[in-house]
Amino acid sequence: MSTYINQPNGVFPSVCSLDCPDQCGLLLHKENGKIVKISGDPEHPVTQGHICNKVRHMTERIYDEKRLKYPLKRVGKKGEGKFEQISWDEAIETITNQWKMLIKNDGPESILPYSFYGNMGRLNAEGMDRRFFYRMGASLLDQTICQAAGSVGYQYTMGGSFGMDPEDTIHSKLIIFWGINAVSTNMHQVALAQKARKNGAEIVVIDVHKNQTGRLADWFIPILPGTDAALALGLMHILFAEKLVDDAFLKEHTIGYDELKEHVKTYDPVSVSEITGVPVDDIYKLARMYGKTSPSFIRIGNGIQHHDNGGMCIRTISCLPALTGQWKVKGGGAIKGNSGYLAFNTNALQRPDLLENKQTRVINMNVLGQALLDLEPSIKSLYVHGCNPAVVTPEGNKVRQGLVREDLFTVVHDLFLTDTAKYADIILPATSSFENTDFYTSYWHHFIQIQQQVIEPYGESKSNVDVFRLLAKGMGFEESVFDDSEEDMIAQALDFSNNPSLKNITYERLMKENFIKADIKPLLENKLKTPSGKIELYSERMKKHGHSPLPIYNPIEKDSEYPYLFVPAPNHNYLNSTFSNNEKHVYLEKEPKLFINQEDALKKGIADGEVVRVWNNRGDCELKAVVGDQVLPGVVVSLGLWADTPGTKQLVNSLTPDRISDMGGGATFFSGRVNVEKL
Ligand SMILES: Nc1nc2c(c(=O)[nH]1)N[C@H]1C(S)=C(S)[C@@H](COP(=O)(O)OP(=O)(O)OC[C@H]3O[C@@H](n4cnc5c(=O)[nH]c(N)nc54)[C@H](O)[C@@H]3O)O[C@H]1N2
Ligand SMILES: Nc1nc2c(c(=O)[nH]1)N[C@H]1C(S)=C(S)[C@@H](COP(=O)(O)OP(=O)(O)OC[C@H]3O[C@@H](n4cnc5c(=O)[nH]c(N)nc54)[C@H](O)[C@@H]3O)O[C@H]1N2
Ligand code: SF4
Ligand SMILES: [Mo]
């Protein structure tokens, strides 16, 4: 039990719950029972006292007047946003009565939970909710919107989400940020890279947009969207041709290097240059730099995998460190994600055994719009938590057409009246993470952390765990798993003999120490979790799954004749759509922009600062043009996922395709085409 809650004044350790690799250790400064300031924990070895702008202003969000204080029921038309206060008893009774009726008439699969990591706390994001919906037998959600394609691609090469320890970045001499806007999205990786730079390291950024990360680079390499696999193969071509590969390493730790060597002969620098837009000389320069510098480190971002070919692209890039033997060098290798190291007992936490019907249908979250409109038997109820699909999900107009269905019973649990909540029948107020207890495992650094409750719940808000306890009671679910305390659940999750790195990490220790680094052995000390136990440059398993067993470049789909490839990326001051409803953060971000090359702007008669209409067959929006050389001709980039504001049209996901990527059922946000004109 947290003792912090009873102390009105003091400074208390905490964890950032946002979906961000850095997973910072925080200090919450409390006065008269309220948090007045949030700072980075100087004791936390990765955070080192520094946090981002977003969370430094977090008190504005947790005490925002607009926060939901009590449950609401809809009184207006769907989506109109008219609600009336109700009690928790009425809310739970309304929801469970509706669900009991649906289960009787249509079966439990007519109900779909839709959630993501608005709060990364394991109990709240994927604990009690899983137990509840497994027990109910509801449709299952395939949570593919973020890193699915790349994780599968990386896994084919490396056996799972296992990369370098980011703290070793300080030893690197060459750091490549590849498709990651790290200044905004992984700031402590940048801090570590800057330390390495003081010791002589060079920073290279490969991106479609010269944003703040590109501007910080020693060398920025602009590339055409969706072509990175070709560049990686071109680098391999030169590495083999110029004997810059580590033969001893390849023999000992990989399979398929002879096949790969033969195969990459077709990716000559001239052809690769035509595909990628990267000049031939630069391809040579980068290959030689990569082949001759050690330790070298590639931070693989999420940007490259939100494409039709995202899985294969990451599969391909992740072969590079093996060619040069970098996995053996401290400060060498790559990171796509590191969640494999902190794997905990998900079966004990989530209890998939409670699901009776093992054939229960699975719905890919990227096609929510289609699912709500066309799926048979139809979805009759949607329960949304920790996610804002009306803004973040592709084919946004289809999503909204689905949400407006009169016969869809929608419940939204959130801290704010999000654009999704506006379509709800019942809205439930959620606590912020500082108002509950949870444990956290980063997908980038190696620390496990605990959040103890620091402040009282805002208004009548409740945590996800508490709401699912109430819903279980209301449904008449009698299993004792719904009575487990937070402490019980954390202990169950950490009790996991399959992962020796967690051996000495317990609830009690976390309560004392707040953050504990897992005891992780060097990557190649044990066999990898690939079928061969080695790094697989050639993958028989990929062949079985219908992919090329060797890394290849597959072009993205040309989904229309519209002239521009559209990359709607995240922005600096929001986290996905979180903060898009908080004045301070909106003020810092100003307005939604569209970056366009000056050549394209000239042709279209668009001047810098003018509002432009961006459209395709899926939808349209209006953004402010930024004309310059930040993007290549033929490419346009927007920043941020903006909430609806009256009088504006800024739903960038109204333009994005809901095609599924090559692997993992992933999203293809960045592979769509649009047209642009002066408004
Ligand atoms: N400030 C802030 N931080 C965040 C988030 C946020 O919204 N705001 N979101 C969080 C979440 S959930 C995630 S998943 C991560 C995402 O953070 P990142 O891993 O940085 O991924 P993105 O920002 O989606 O894209 C990264 C970069 O890829 C570029 N890009 C797009 N297509 C291509 C391509 O084909 N090739 C290359 N080389 N580059 C390309 C984009 O221009 C962008 O600069 O950040 C997390 N942190
Ligand atoms: N165009 C485009 N679209 C994208 C992306 C992109 O780069 N471009 N990125 C994609 C990616 S990588 C991701 S991960 C998704 C993210 O999409 P989402 O997961 O929807 O992320 P957020 O927009 O941050 O919404 C999270 C919501 O959870 C709520 N929340 C926070 N804590 C809690 C809690 O404890 N309980 C409950 N019930 N609610 C809580 C927040 O208030 C917020 O409304 O977006 C995707 N969409
Ligand atoms: S959003 Fe990321 S960088 Fe900012 S405080 Fe949270 S974990 Fe740290
Ligand atoms: Mo994400």
Tell me: do 200 and 218 sit in the same domain.
yes
Distance, in Å, from the CA atom of 660 to the CA atom of 308, rounded to the nearest integer, reads 7
Distance, in Å, from the CA atom of 341 to the CA atom of 321, rounded to the nearest integer, reads 19
- Identify which of 146, 207, 571 to mutate to test ligand 1's pocket (most ligand atoms within 8 A of the CB): 207
Any domain includes 62: no
Q: Where are the beta strands (DSSP E) in 494-539?
A: 515-517, 535-536
**Model pLDDT, residue 644:** 93
**Model pLDDT, residue 545:** 98
For residue 556, pLDDT beyond 80: yes
**Model pLDDT, residue 132:** 98
Tell me: do 499 and 537 sit in the same domain.
no
Tell me: do 511 and 647 sit in the same domain.
no
Tell how far the Cα of 207 is from the centroid of ligand 4, in angstroms. Answer: 18
Residues with CB under 6 A from ligand 2: 19, 116-119, 124, 145-146, 302, 385-388, 392, 413-416, 418, 430, 433, 464, 568-570, 575-578, 641, 652-653, 656, 669
Ligand 1 touching residue 307 (CB < 6 A): yes
Tell how far the Cα of 445 is from the centroid of ligand 4, in angstroms. Answer: 16
In the block, tokens 């082949």 appear at 291
| Burial annotation 412-445 (CB, 10 A radius, 16+ → b, else e) | bbbbbbbbbbbbbbbbbbbbbbbbbbbbbbbbbb
**Model pLDDT, residue 623:** 98
- Name the pLDDT band for 105 (thresholds 50, 70, 90): very high
Ligand 1 touching residue 310 (CB < 6 A): no
- Give the tens place of pLDDT for each residue, 398-427: 999 999 999 999 999 999 999 999 999 999
Tell me: do 105 and 199 sit in the same domain.
no
- Give the tens place of pLDDT for each residue, 194-214: 999 999 999 999 999 999 999
Any domain includes 65: no
Chain centroid to Cα 507, Å, comes to 27
**Model pLDDT, residue 291:** 98
- The atom number, within ligand 3, closest to the CA of 20 reads 2
**CATH code of the domain covering residue 193:** 3.40.228.10
Question: What secondary structure letter does DSSP report for 309?
Answer: T
Any domain includes 42: no
Tell how far the Cα of 570 is from the centroid of ligand 1, in angstroms. Answer: 6
Residue 300: partners with Cβ closer than 8 Å, 6 or more residues away: 150, 154, 178, 179, 180, 314, 317, 318, 334, 335, 336
- Give the tens place of pLDDT for each residue, 207-265: 999 999 999 999 999 999 999 999 999 999 999 999 999 999 999 999 999 999 999 99
**Model pLDDT, residue 307:** 98
**What average pLDDT does the segment 147-163 reach?**
98
Distances (CA, A) of 335 to 175, 191, 312: 11, 16, 16
Ligand 3 touching residue 643 (CB < 6 A): no
Ligand 1 touching residue 574 (CB < 6 A): yes
- Give the tens place of pLDDT for each residue, 434-480: 999 999 999 999 999 999 999 999 999 999 999 999 999 999 999 99
- Give the tens place of pLDDT for each residue, 529-551: 999 999 999 999 999 999 999 99
Any domain includes 254: yes
In the block, tokens 């490419």 appear at 635
**Model pLDDT, residue 617:** 98
Tell me: do 360 and 477 sit in the same domain.
yes
Tell me: do 350 and 301 sit in the same domain.
no
- Name the pLDDT band for 2 (thresholds 50, 70, 90): confident
Tell how far the Cα of 224 is from the centroid of ligand 3, in angstroms. Answer: 29
Any domain includes 44: no
**What average pLDDT does the segment 308-337 reach?**
98
- Give the tens place of pLDDT for each residue, 18-62: 999 999 999 999 999 999 999 999 999 999 999 999 999 999 999
- Identify which of 219, 275, 302, 630 to mutate to test ligand 1's pocket (most ligand atoms within 8 A of the CB): 302
Residue 648: give the domain boundaries.
Answer: 564-656
Q: How many domains does the chain have?
A: 3
Any domain includes 426: yes
Tell how far the Cα of 46 is from the centroid of ligand 4, in angstroms. Answer: 21
Tell how far the Cα of 423 is from the centroid of ligand 2, in angstroms. Answer: 17
**What average pLDDT does the segment 582-606 reach?**
96
Tell me: do 485 and 599 sit in the same domain.
no
**Model pLDDT, residue 523:** 94
**What average pLDDT does the segment 167-178 reach?**
98
